[in-house]
Chain A
Amino acid sequence: MKGARRSGAYAAAPAEGVARVALVSTLLPQLPAADLDAFRFALFGGFAVLVGLVAIGAYPVALVGAALLVPALVVLYVYSVDVYEETPIPVIGLTMIWGAVWGVVIAVAADSLVATPRIGGSRWGEIVLLGVVVPLVGLALMVAGPLILLRDRRYNDVVDGASFGVASAVSFVGAQVIAGSVGLFAAGPTPVGEALPWIARIVAVAIALPVIAAGAVGSAVGAFSLRYRAPIRDRDALGIVGRPAVASALAAVLLVASALAGYLPGTIPGLAVRLAIAAIALIWLRRTLHLGLLEEAFEAGIGDEITCANCGARTPRHTFCGNCGIALHALPKRSSRADEPPSGDAAEPPGAEPPAAEPPAAEPPA
């Protein structure tokens, strides 16, 4: 296991470290390496288009594009790797549609509750509402949909939980931005405004805000998943942040800090703080996924030889690819395979404890 044996290698993308701030392999963990590149190209290509729109002054269009960039990638990811297996409607409904609907509701409610801001004066009421209350309510709503899904035993691992949390969060954030910005369209396709602050705003909307929400919510739902769906001996795998209460509190801190950063004077300080929070959220989510994959590796038996979808080498059907070291569980599913005769360890009855296997070679971070 070349890749996974490397200390600190990320189980879902062994060429990368666990502590690396890598956006695509963290938000979309079940992609083979070759597909990661395609999603990266889509992300950065899409972002370049948005910058071009800002350059020509098409701010409303750029804002909508920024709000939909990451959610669009997640939709394609969910479909492409078959996250929802045989139940697309409940999964899409309780993650992306759930998040989008509540994002609109919260945006409309916040707009009607906030008094007209005072210019250059004290705005404590608004800061408490938009900086603290709205993020906390939003967190509860973003987590609630995926938690309903976790009652289904098909979705009982950390990768599923985190993926559902990510999908719910990015949809919520995107819908919230668009619903709260409809007034911008009345100003026409190219409203008056300086371009440089808009670049910063597009970075925040397209990257920082969805990544913070995805990291916080994905990790929190992953913690719930590990705590209530994993075997008892694995429930402390994530340490204290694996406890749902602690994970939820940490997620709340990240979301509130991000919202309060919006009140920092100037464009750059607020964006810099948000990007730093996004990096923290991303590494937290990455660590959650990594440890979840490692813990699951203890459960699997060894099956027939397969071709690894990540590197193309032949490897026993087990937990990690013997060549590239990727966690095989972090690769696309295929619902159609459910109808095919299983081989190797795939014949276990639901609820049965699989036989113990040798532990994976990847070393979990301290």
Chain B
Amino acid sequence: MSGHYRTARAVGDETARLERRRLLTLFFIVIGVVLVAAALIAVFTDSPEPPPDCQPGTECGGPPGQPGASIAPGASGGAIPAPTVQPGTVGIRAGTPWKSTDHGFEFEYSKLWKVDTADGSRVDLVFQGRADAVLTVASVAASEASAEVYANRWADTIRSDAPDLRVDDREKNEILGPMIGFVDGVGRTYAGTWSSPQAATRPIGVSVISATDGRTTVAVVLVVWDPDDDIASTWMQYAVRSTAELVLKTFRWGPT
């Protein structure tokens, strides 16, 4: 193929079609309209705050816990003293069991979760419903990390993928009475965004509960993508977290 240049059109005396002031006006109008439209979309797609579960003057249920044992999200109360675990404490067998070969604890998970990877001290469960979520149950020797330290470590791990991760102090995501296997612990919620290499950015909600029985420190970490999406008259993070509670309720610490 022999080509030729279109030199006949290289006139050189033509100025740009848009005069500078007009160009800048047009540009900032276009950008302004887009930004306002984006802001309106964000406002109108924002999920409304859910009504409180417990109205004043009514008898309310709630997660089990001991007075003063609850730790609000974001609170930093220092290391949690190791509680005494009553021998023979068992949960309700209501799901598929999983047992740690390294630390002896075990728990059950519902059919909405499926084991992705596992080793002797950690298991990653992937949500099987209409949401993207990962539930990790991991453990270390108590001498290696307190509940507080282990919770912080997991927040840092997630922060490496979601650098804008920050404590989520919204009341709707608060963890009430954080405990694992009836052992009080540290409970925190975080929010941030998870970005792909192509900069596709999705919000995440993170719930971390960590507790120790004096020999083993365990963290239950739940990451939910698009946590504020509406689902079944509630929001995604709440719905997914509800399905993960079985892990906490059926958790049995290893033999002493």
Q: Identify the A interface with B (CB < 8 A).
A: 31-32, 34-35, 37-39, 41-42, 45-46, 49, 53, 58-61, 63-65, 67-69, 72-73, 76, 79-82, 85, 106-107, 110-111, 114-121, 130-131, 134-135, 153-154, 156-157, 173, 176-177, 179-181, 183-189, 191-195, 197-198, 200-201, 204-205, 209, 228-232, 258-263, 265-267, 296, 299-301, 306-309, 315, 317, 319, 321, 327-329, 331-334, 337-338, 342, 345-348, 350-354
Contact = CB atoms under 8 A, between A and B. Distances in A.
Closest 8 CB pairs of A and B: A180-B200, A328-B12, A262-B197, A192-B191, A188-B46, A193-B164, A197-B163, A329-B10
Contact of B11 (A110, A306, A351): A306
Identify whether the interface residues of B are mostly helix, strand, loop, or mixed: mixed
A184 B16 contact: no
B134 to A, nearest CB: 6
B157 A119 contact: yes
A352 B6 CA distance: 10
B155 to A, nearest CB: 11
Nearest to B160: A265
Contact of B201 (A63, A115, A260): A63
A176 B197 CA distance: 11
B149 to A, nearest CB: 16
B131 to A, nearest CB: 9
Contact of A76 (B1, B27, B164, B201): B27
Contacts, number: 304
B16 A68 contact: no
B127 interface: yes
Given A265-B160, A308-B13, 18 more contacts: A35-B23, A49-B35, A64-B38, A76-B18, A76-B27, A79-B17, A80-B18, A115-B126, A119-B124, A130-B196, A177-B201, A185-B46, A188-B43, A193-B166, A228-B3, A263-B197, A266-B163, A332-B14
Interface string B22-54: 011011101100110011011101110000000
Interface of B: 1-18, 20, 23-24, 26-28, 30-31, 34-35, 38-39, 41-43, 45-47, 116-117, 124, 126-127, 132-134, 136, 154, 157-158, 160-161, 163-166, 168, 170, 191-203, 221, 223, 225-230
Given A116-B127, A185-B41, A333-B11, A156 B4 contact: yes
Contacts of A188: 42-43, 46-47, 228
A351 B4 contact: yes
A192 B192 contact: yes
A60 B38 contact: yes
Nearest to A209: B199
A73 B27 contact: yes
A134 B6 contact: no
Most A CB within 10 A of own CB, among B23, B168, B193: B193
Contact of B197 (A68, A76, A260): A260
Contacts of B38: 60-61, 64-65, 185
A110 B198 contact: yes
Contacts of A194: 163-166, 192
26 contacts: A35-B23, A65-B34, A65-B35, A116-B132, A120-B157, A130-B197, A186-B45, A186-B203, A188-B47, A193-B192, A194-B163, A200-B163, A201-B164, A201-B201, A204-B199, A231-B3, A262-B197, A299-B4, A301-B7, A309-B13, A329-B7, A331-B14, A333-B9, A333-B14, A342-B8, A346-B11
